[in-house]
Amino acid sequence: MNKKQLTEKRLQFEGALELFASRIQEDRYILAAVLVGSLTDETIWRKESMYLWVIEADGVTKRLKSDGNDERIFRTLVEDDINLHVELIPRSRFKQMIEGSSRTAFSSNFFAKRELIYCDDASIRNWFEKADELATRDQEKELLVATTWAIHAVKQARKQIEIKKDLELARQTLMWGAHSVAAIEIIRQGEIYEHESIYKAIELKPKLFKTIYLDPISKKPTAKILKAALVAIEDYIEENHTAYLKPLLNYLAKRKGLLPFSEIATQFAYSQLYPWHLESTCQWLTDNGYAEKLSAPFKLTKKSRVDVEEPAYMLND
């Protein structure tokens, strides 16, 4: 795609966005809209659609059968043949996102810029501007999230290599691990980077990414190549774990003693930090001698009189 084609495509997307903004301004129940991801000649080449948050008044959510019981509501719309992927967010939940009390909290997105393209609510504008400024301080939280992805990928890849002996599947899993490490490197820089993160990461750490990405993706998968990638990711995490897992380590140290996994998961129940990834990370701390794993009683229902057991973790001195 040449420069002229990129410019034409960008102008088409900008026109579609203007049309959409003009429509929602006529709806008194729509209070604001946020474009996630910028429209520039450098980013437009890969876009087939746009992603937006649309903030609606409380109590007007229109649910469809296809929404099920999910709190988050998504709609696919279209303007000038450009699809718009829209998340509808009630005003009160958007406020919770800003305050960090929602699982879909307004944390920093180091991979996409966000722009308020329409707002008819002064409070929302103030919340957005304040949160967008403060979000750049979310590095520790986002580093934790990406590191849990990498740890979980390594855990799965090791089983696929050593137990299942499925080298192709292990290569796919390690690619996810490499992309997770790339995300860590982008977040660590502290600046928004909207291009392909893996290429920036290769530029930042060429030797590491040759081992964990370029060799596995370009060569026939062998146990030697994949184990080298596995060990390199493990060493990378081990070397930096005190910085990359800092929120989790600080929480375990502050609370002291034995902490049930349900309490840990509740503490870190924010966007993109999945319980199964957190479980893998707690197990990683145990396997590497940084924590001890025991068990704690847990009631499955509010009325249960019988306890089951759940994992519980305690930092080692």
CATH of the domain at 307: 1.10.10
Q: Which residue has the higher pLDDT, 105 or 213?
A: 213
Residues 30 and 80 in one domain: yes
pLDDT digits (tens, 9 = 90+) for 124-170: 999 888 776 655 557 888 899 999 999 999 999 999 999 999 999 99
Percent of the chain with pLDDT over 70: 94
Give the residue from 201, 225, 244 where a domain finishes: 244
C-alpha closest to that of 194 among 3, 12, 9, 42: 42
Sheet with strand 82-90: strands edge to edge: 73-79, 82-90, 49-56, 30-36, 114-119
- Residues 94 and 145 placed together within one structural domain of the fold: no
Candidates 64, 56, 63; CA nearest to 89 is 56
307, 237: one domain: no
Instruction: Indicate whether 105 pLDDT > 80.
Output: no
Domain of 90 in residue numbering reads as 3-137
Same domain, 170 and 259: no
Specify whether 92 is located in the same domain as 37. Answer: yes
Say yes or no: 13 and 94 in one domain: yes
The tens digit of pLDDT for each residue in 248-260 reads 999 999 988 899 9
Q: Is the pLDDT of residue 172 over 90?
A: yes
pLDDT digits (tens, 9 = 90+) for 275-294: 999 999 999 999 999 999 99
Is residue 218's pLDDT more than 70? Answer: yes
Average pLDDT of span 43-69: 92
**Is 90 exceeded by the pLDDT of residue 114?**
no
pTM summary value: 0.79
**CA triple 295-299-303, angle to 5 deg:** 165
User: End of a domain among 185, 219, 244?
Assistant: 244
Residues 6+ positions from 188 with CB-CB distance below 8 Å: 139, 143
Choice between 135 and 230, residue whose per-residue pLDDT is larger: 230
CATH label of the domain that carries residue 198: 1.20.120
Q: Structural domain tally of the chain? A: 3
Tell which of 189, 209, 244 closes a domain: 244
